[in-house]
Amino acid sequence: MLENVVVFGVMVGSCALFAYWLRFVCLLIVTAKPAERHARKTAVEYGLRFGEIDKVLKRATPRDLTRLHAALNRDFLLLGRLLDRAETRFAPVAEAIILSVNYWTMSAWCWATSLFAPRIARWSLKEMAIVVEYLAGTLGERTARSCCLTAAPFPRLLQ
């Protein structure tokens, strides 16, 4: 009986430490390379709504939280498809996996807490918006890089 309790405690502790590590690795990735300039351009170009989160989140009702959650999921899935189609020669796979796991974990946490703890759901939505903003910046960067790589090295002079 005591062995089962110890094993269960070690498993719970290991899962908690892994979640803690994953969250902070994700935050390190997102803060290490701010791409706000590209994120804004990408948001305007593709009609993404992650920029509205800060404005609406402070006074959001539970119904608003559900709407914002759906909008962020739409943005995340759209960016995922666009990033898959974009130039991926320099794409770090581990980074994408860590950000995706963190996003979907925060999404599940938001869904689970939106009715009885809206403050925690707001915090989850804020972190999800940060990940979406980072991905939008990454897409904008890759698009700018691929445009630069495909452009001719020397412009043709008018003759």
Residue among 147, 119, 140, 149 at smallest CA distance from 41: 140
Model pLDDT for residues 52-104, shown as the tens digit of each residue: 887 888 788 878 888 899 999 999 999 888 888 776 555 577 888 889 999 99
Q: Give the domain extent around 73.
A: 2-150
Is 48 among the domain residues? yes
> What does the H/E/C string look like for 17-32?
HHHHHHHHHHHHHHHH
Q: Enumerate residues 6+ apart whose C-beta is below 8 A from 78.
A: 46, 48
Is 156 among the domain residues? no
Model pLDDT for residues 11-51, shown as the tens digit of each residue: 999 998 988 888 888 888 888 776 677 888 888 888 888 88
Domain count, the chain: 1
